Structure 1
């Protein structure tokens, strides 16, 4: 955690320097404002990570002698195959085409999106936890 905090603080300082240089050279307010806002956001993230790093135990990334496998563990369960993202993609494509060609396409895309979403959420509800 300490490494990420330092990285974001250094990134914030770099963005601040680039914001000043860009503002002086270009005299363009939109880009200069965006860079200063980027400085503020990076500083907030860096401060938060540095602040919480003091309250969290040292992790493997804080140890210079650590291996990559020291932090390895189970990440979670990922579905090996599923047809539901295809249904969501087709429904989403139809919905966005409805914005271009006509809102009437939403009548066809909304049921496809709802079926794909329903199928994806309840894909693994089988057995004793299944609702009747």
Structure 2
């Protein structure tokens, strides 16, 4: 994870330079704001990856002498199928449509979004620390 963190930090430095250059040269606030937000996002992701790399074991991608086969094996548990992202997408789409057509639409979208989020978080929770 250290490699990925360094890559994101490098991208953040590049985006900071481009943000400053673009902001000075174009004097256009929307693009400058978008680039500044992209800089902040890559900085947060890079910090998270570097911070997490200190707490977990060294992966095969962090060792120069590692082979591709060293990282083989089970990576974790992933849901084979789930309907919850569909509920989240419908709730989110209705919420954004509520901004366009009227705030009253949020009263219908927020419960759908909350049900989808709750269902996705607790989809495989059937007891204390169980996955199935």
Secondary structure of 2:79 counterpart: coil
In structure 2, how many angstroms separate the alpha carbons of the residues matched to 1:8 and 1:60?
17
Partner of 2:25: 28
Aligned-residue CA RMSD (Å): 4.5
The number of equivalent residue pairs is 112
Mapped to 2, the partners of 1:61 and 1:100 lie a distance apart of 47
Gaps of 5+ in 2: none
Unpaired runs of at least 5, structure 1? none
Q: For residues 128 and 57 of structure 1, what CA distance do their matches in structure 2 show?
A: 29
* CA displacement, residues 10-52 of structure 1 (integer Å, 9 cap, x when unaligned): x958x86x89xx69xxx62769x979xx6xx88xx6xxx6xx8
Query: Under a length normalisation based on structure 2, what TM-score does the superposition of the two structures give?
Result: 0.55
Equivalent-residue separation in structure 1 for 2:128 and 2:3 (angstroms): 45
1:72 maps onto 2:69 in alignment: no
Confirm or deny that 1:118 pairs with 2:118.
yes
The CA distance in 2 between the partners of 1:28 and 1:105, in whole Å, is: 41
Q: 1:114 and 1:67 mapped to 2: Cα distance?
A: 44
* Distance of aligned partners of 1:67 and 1:117 in 2 relative to their CA distance in 1, 3 Å threshold: same
Q: Secondary structure at the match of 2:108?
A: helix
- Higher-Rg structure is 1
Deviation at residue 63 of structure 1 after TM alignment:
2.4
Indicate whether 1:88 and 2:88 are aligned: yes
